[in-house]
């Protein structure tokens, strides 16, 4: 690509641009670390055991664990046995949120995790591969006086994975198994103030339903939702970044259209990268505060997938367009072997997401991990995508090595050039290398900050300030990739400068590379 700003900008101006971008990068980390609260909150719930006194269960009846219309409760199953209450008449009720609190659309989503408290009994042990059948209903209302409205109802199965750490003897009866957490429910929007879960564990001996699952004492739930304060900071950041990228994108394409030649492949790919960044930036989430859009989580995943697929494709084409290997490369068809695995891996992840969150649009209790077939299918998609990612990474490293080797080899032709041309060519090579190293640095920072956010306790104390590390990771990395795309479009926009009798430094590069058509377009 001839005549780009990065080729003609002085080192002083390039340093100034770099410093400004670094300041914005530091600010994006500070926004998350010092202004925004933690991204999510986890709330623990203990299900209340209610008694359904009606012989034939009414699906329209809802059992409240507390309040003026609370259900008839029992403390434990020993009391149920004494009162001759059957297991099929016990309803586990959970009200979300806790008393005197309200849910809010600013919470964006709600993920609920299930855990059984199962006591060990010699005569009622957990069998291998035991399945818990759960009859669950979800209702909502927006004030404390109105009736509950059913939102979803389903009969689900969850495979128990429990371990008893001590010896199975009569002396250890009453001790609890250590059971894995189970995925239970996911809502893509929190449009209502109050939610009510009614959970039944129906027992049918003839059909072997809920047999061999041990003696369940309690059901515990963990509700996870996004913090409203973080949501507001996140929305504000997207609202600010959207016009920034949109303006530089319009400016970039206008400079390209002013050229007498048609745009080359790299210029088209950079513009496509800007479009994808704009697509992911557009703050449509503002509408989710006022509308019950349950598909926002799936839509967000699709937007991220499109951007990262475009980013990975850009890196391949960016390196290929600077290989200087006497090959015509200014066509997308040249890169189909490299871009193909990216598209295939992205498609596998899309299918996996549709199998999970796509189904959850109709049934929030569905989980692809709940069955053996679903687990194997999900793992197959993830493994294939992982293989594609590894192949991509190895090939990208190989291409970067080739670019560095070929550019270094071209230094042998520098002594034959005039002093001005040689100095400009040396600066050109340095800037190509520098931009590639910045790309690798951005990728490395993403991985490093992700690891830090996973292993730390969530926040650091810095003097009188509390730094939210997880929030800083989200806002910082999001800001970093926006600045990266901004810098790419700015530095690789066509320059209007001229150097002597040459049209641009791109002409110098073509001459030094024996007029490679792949480089000059």
DSSP states of 428-456: HHHHHHHHHHHHHHHHHHHHHHHHHHHHS
What value does the mean pLDDT take over residues 55-71? 78
Beta bridge partners of 465: 462
Does residue 276 register a pLDDT over 90?
A: yes
**What pLDDT does 394 receive?**
84
**Which pLDDT belongs to residue 155?**
92
Q: What pLDDT does residue 137 have?
A: 94
For 449-503, the pLDDT digits (tens) are 666 655 544 445 455 555 677 788 889 889 998 999 999 999 888 876 654 434 4
Band of pLDDT at residue 219, cut at 50, 70 and 90: very high
Residue 327: predicted pLDDT? 60
Render pLDDT for 177-204 as a digit per residue (tens, 0 to 9).
Answer: 999 899 999 998 999 999 999 999 998 8
DSSP secondary structure string for all residues of 3-59:
SBHHHHS-HHHHHHHHHHHHHHHHHHHHIIIIIS--SEEEEEEE-EEEE---SS--T
Among 166-180, 373-387, 480-494, the least confident range: 373-387
Structure confidence at residue 423 as a pLDDT band (50, 70, 90): low
Compare 441 and 165 and report the one with higher pLDDT: 165
342-360 mean pLDDT = 85
The predicted-structure confidence for 12-26, as pLDDT tens digits, reads as follows 888 898 899 999 989
246 has a pLDDT exceeding 50: yes
Confidence band, pLDDT 50/70/90 cuts, at residue 510: very low
Domains and CATH numbers, the chain: 2-39+229-498 (1.20.1070), 41-226 (no CATH)
Query: What rounded mean pLDDT belongs to the chain?
Result: 82
Residue 239 has pLDDT above 90, yes or no: yes
Residue 77 has pLDDT above 70, yes or no: yes
Closest CA to 249 of 5, 1, 493: 493
pLDDT of residue 104 exceeding 90, the answer is yes
In the predicted model, is pLDDT for residue 235 greater than 60?
yes
Which of 459, 450, 452 lies closest to 478 in space, CA to CA? 450
pLDDT for residue 519: 39
The model carries a pTM of 0.80
More confidently predicted of 431 and 224: 224
The per-residue pLDDT for 57 is 58
């Amino acid at each position: 690509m001839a005549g780009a700003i990065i080729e003609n900008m002085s080192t002083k101006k390039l340093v100034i641009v770099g410093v400004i971008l670094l300041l914005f990068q530091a600010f994006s980390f500070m926004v998350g670390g010092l202004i925004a609260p933690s991204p999510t909150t986890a709330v623990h719930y203990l299900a209340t055991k209610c008694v359904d006194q009606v012989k034939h269960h009414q699906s329209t009846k809802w059992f409240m664990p507390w309040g003026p219309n609370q259900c008839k409760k029992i403390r434990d199953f020993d009391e149920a046995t004494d009162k001759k209450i059957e297991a099929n008449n016990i309803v586990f009720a959970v009200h979300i949120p806790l008393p005197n609190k309200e849910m809010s659309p600013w919470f964006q989503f709600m993920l609920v995790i299930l855990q059984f408290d199962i006591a060990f009994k010699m005569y009622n042990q957990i069998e291998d591969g035991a399945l818990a059948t759960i009859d669950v209903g979800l209702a909502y209302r927006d004030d404390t006086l109105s009736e509950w409205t059913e939102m979803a109802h389903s009969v689900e199965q969850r495979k128990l994975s429990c371990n008893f750490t001590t010896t199975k003897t009569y002396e250890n009866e009453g001790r609890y198994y250590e059971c894995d957490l189970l995925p239970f429910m996911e809502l893509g929007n929190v449009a209502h103030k109050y939610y009510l879960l009614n959970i039944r564990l129906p027992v049918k001996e003839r059909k072997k339903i809920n047999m061999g699952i041990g003696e369940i004492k309690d059901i515990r739930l963990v509700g996870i939702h996004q913090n409203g304060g973080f949501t507001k900071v996140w929305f504000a950041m997207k609202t600010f970044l959207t016009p920034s990228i949109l303006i530089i994108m319009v400016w970039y394409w206008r400079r390209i259209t002013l050229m007498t030649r048609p745009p080359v492949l790299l210029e088209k790919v950079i513009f496509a990268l800007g479009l994808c960044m704009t697509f992911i930036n557009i703050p449509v989430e503002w509408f989710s505060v006022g509308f019950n859009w349950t598909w926002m989580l799936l839509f967000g995943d699709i937007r991220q997938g499109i951007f990262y697929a475009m980013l990975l494709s850009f890196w391949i084409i960016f390196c290929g367009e600077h290989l200087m290997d006497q090959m015509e490369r200014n066509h997308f068809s040249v890169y189909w072997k490299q871009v193909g695995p990216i598209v295939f891996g992205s498609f596998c992840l899309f299918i996996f997401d549709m199998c999970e969150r796509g189904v959850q649009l109709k049934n929030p209790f569905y989980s692809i991990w709940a069955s053996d077939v679903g687990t194997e299918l999900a793992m197959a998609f993830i493994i294939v995508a992982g293989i594609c990612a590894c192949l991509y990474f190895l090939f990208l490293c190989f291409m970067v090595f080739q670019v560095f080797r070929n550019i270094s080899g071209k230094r042998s032709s520098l002594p034959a050039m005039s002093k001005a041309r040689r100095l400009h060519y040396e600066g050109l090579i340095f800037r190509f290398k520098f931009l590639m190293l910045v790309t690798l640095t951005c990728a490395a920072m993403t991985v490093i900050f992700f690891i830090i956010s996973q292993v730390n306790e969530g926040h650091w104390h810095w003097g009188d300030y509390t730094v939210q590390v997880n929030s800083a990771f989200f806002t910082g990395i999001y800001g970093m990739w926006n600045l990266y795309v901004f810098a790419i479009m700015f530095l690789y926009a066509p320059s209007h400068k001229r150097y002597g009798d040459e049209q641009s430094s791109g002409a110098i590069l073509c001459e030094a590379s024996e007029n490679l058509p792949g480089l000059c377009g």
